[in-house]
């Protein structure tokens, strides 16, 4: 009985730097790779939707703030009237109004020039009753009540009509809001679709790793511990997918931004830029895309943990 209890069969020292804390759920599997691809595509689409919504919202904000601060007075002369004195009277009334920052009357030549796009250049307008235009800059964000100015113009210069663009701005605003709402709904649908894919993948992973789950239970692992391991596994997959999809989306918007700079110098580019913005995300827009990627990573982990916990609770 002098023999040791268990003789070391090989007394060699352990190799330095041996693996001590590998993930308990194997990382490399066909379903895992497929989920990374699905998450990457969904993240890319979600980022595109979010970026597009931000671009539309930014463009809408820009032209709404410009347009609603501008108003226009048209003076339509009748035969025999002194148009210049009517225009001067209207300018005087406008500049006295507290809501108005400035009022500038276009000259007859400038007013006629405005008709060039429709009637062509070089025409003689001397025999035509061309309305004279007064550009009015409002003080605030266009929420001022212009009724007093309108009334004053109606009584002093009945030939003058005040147009504050509000109806047009309201329609464009409604359209932009509709686009942003649609984008938000698409974004939500993509997140739901991604959640569903994660749910399927998690259930598949739990079924595929049943042996591991059983061994973990038998060595005294709690459900929370096992769920945490699955959460870490899926968070890693989610991070990889979100990173790929997010970087692709950021590259897409960076390219679109460069192209829009080039496009702005082409015929028609200016009008499109004025309508839809410059296709250039601001820095906060890129931060929003990063936030989408972080949210996808967190969502993947948390959702899988919840699904695994529910599954384990049903096991006897």
Partner 1 sequence: MLQFENVGLRYGLGSEVLGDLNFSVDPQSFQFLTGPSGAGKTTLMRLMLLSLRPTRGAIRVFGQDSAALSKNDLTTLRRRIGAVFQDFRLLDHLTTYENVALPLRAMGREEAGYRAEVVELLRWVGLGDRMNASPPVLSGGEKQRAAIARALIVRPELLLADEPTGNVDPGLARRLLRLFVELHRLGTAVVIATHDLQLMEQFGFARRLVVGDGKLTIFDGSSS
Q: Could you say which of 14, 98, 117, 268 contacts partner 1 (CB under 8 A)?
A: 14
Helices (H), the chain: 30-67, 83-96, 108-113, 116-119, 147-156, 166-208, 210-218, 223-263, 269-276, 283-314
173, 64 Cβ separation under 8 angstroms: yes
Rule CB under 8 A: say whether 221 interacts with partner 1. yes
Q: Could you say which of 30, 122, 218, 262 contacts partner 1 (CB under 8 A)?
A: 218
Rule CB under 8 A: say whether 6 interacts with partner 1. yes
Give 116 or 214: the residue with its C-beta nearer to partner 1: 214
Distance CA 197, CA 43 (A): 13
Query: Per-residue x/- marks for partner 1, 61-100, CB under 8 A?
Result: ----------------------------------------
Q: Could you say which of 30, 121, 147, 219 contacts partner 1 (CB under 8 A)?
A: 219
> With the C-alpha atoms ordered 119, 121, 122, 124, is the resulting torsion angle positive or negative?
positive
Give 13 or 271: the residue with its C-beta nearer to partner 1: 13
From 31-39, 191-199, 218-226, 273-281, span contacting partner 1 (CB under 8 A): 218-226
Rule CB under 8 A: say whether 12 interacts with partner 1. yes
> With the C-alpha atoms ordered 287, 262, 41, 180, is the resulting torsion angle positive or negative?
positive
From 6-14, 171-179, 242-250, 257-265, span contacting partner 1 (CB under 8 A): 6-14
Task: Return the DSSP state at 131.
Answer: P
Task: Return the DSSP state at 264.
Answer: T
Rule CB under 8 A: say whether 9 interacts with partner 1. yes
Rule CB under 8 A: say whether 215 interacts with partner 1. yes
Angle between helices 223-263 and 269-276 (to 10 degrees): 140
> With the C-alpha atoms ordered 74, 75, 78, 84, is the resulting torsion angle positive or negative?
negative
Rule CB under 8 A: say whether 313 interacts with partner 1. yes
Q: What are 104's strand-pairing partners?
A: 135
Q: Please, which of residues 16-55 interact with partner 1 by CB under 8 A?
A: 18-22, 24, 26
Identify the three-state secondary structure at position 126.
coil
From 69-77, 79-87, 123-131, 219-227, span contacting partner 1 (CB under 8 A): 219-227
Give 15 or 82: the residue with its C-beta nearer to partner 1: 15
Query: Per-residue x/- marks for partner 1, 224-263, CB under 8 A?
Result: -x--------------------------------------
Q: How many residues bind partner 1 (CB under 8 A)?
A: 34
Task: Return the DSSP state at 9.
Answer: S
Q: Is 111 exposed, middle or buried (0-12, 13-18, 19+ CB in 10 A)?
A: buried
Binding site for partner 1 (CB under 8 A): 3, 5-15, 18-22, 24, 26, 211-212, 214-223, 225, 313, 316
């Amino acid at each position: 009985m002098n023999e040791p209890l268990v003789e070391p069969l090989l007394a060699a020292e352990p190799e330095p730097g041996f693996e001590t804390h590998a993930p308990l759920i194997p990382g490399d599997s066909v379903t895992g790779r497929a989920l990374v691809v699905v998450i990457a595509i969904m993240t890319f689409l979600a980022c595109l939707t979010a970026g597009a919504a931000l671009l539309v919202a930014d463009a809408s904000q820009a032209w709404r703030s410009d347009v609603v601060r501008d108003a226009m007075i048209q003076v339509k002369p009748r035969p025999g009237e002194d148009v210049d004195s009517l225009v001067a009277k209207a300018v005087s009334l406008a500049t006295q109004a507290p809501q108005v920052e400035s009022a500038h009357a276009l000259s007859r030549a400038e007013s006629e020039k405005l008709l060039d796009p429709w009637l062509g250049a070089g025409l003689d307008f001397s025999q035509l009753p061309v309305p004279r235009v007064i550009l009015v800059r409002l003080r605030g964000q266009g929420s001022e009540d212009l009724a007093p100015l309108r009334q004053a113009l109606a009584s002093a210069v009945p030939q003058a009509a005040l147009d504050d663009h509000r109806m047009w701005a309201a329609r464009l605003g409604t359209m932009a809001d509709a686009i942003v709402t649609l984008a938000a709904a698409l974004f939500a649908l993509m997140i739901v679709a991604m959640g569903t894919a994660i749910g399927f993948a998690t259930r598949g992973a739990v079924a595929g790793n049943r042996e591991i789950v059983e061994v973990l239970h038998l060595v005294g692992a709690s459900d929370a511990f096992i769920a945490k391991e699955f959460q870490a596994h899926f968070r890693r997959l989610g991070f990889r997918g979100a990173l790929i999809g997010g970087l692709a989306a950021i590259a897409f918007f960076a390219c679109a931004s460069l192209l829009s700079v080039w496009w702005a110098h082409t015929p028609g580019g200016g009008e499109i830029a004025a309508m839809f913005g410059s296709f250039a995300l601001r820095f906060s827009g890129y931060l929003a895309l990063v936030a989408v990627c972080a949210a996808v990573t967190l969502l993947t982990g948390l959702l899988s943990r919840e699904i695994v916990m529910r599954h384990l609770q049903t096991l006897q």
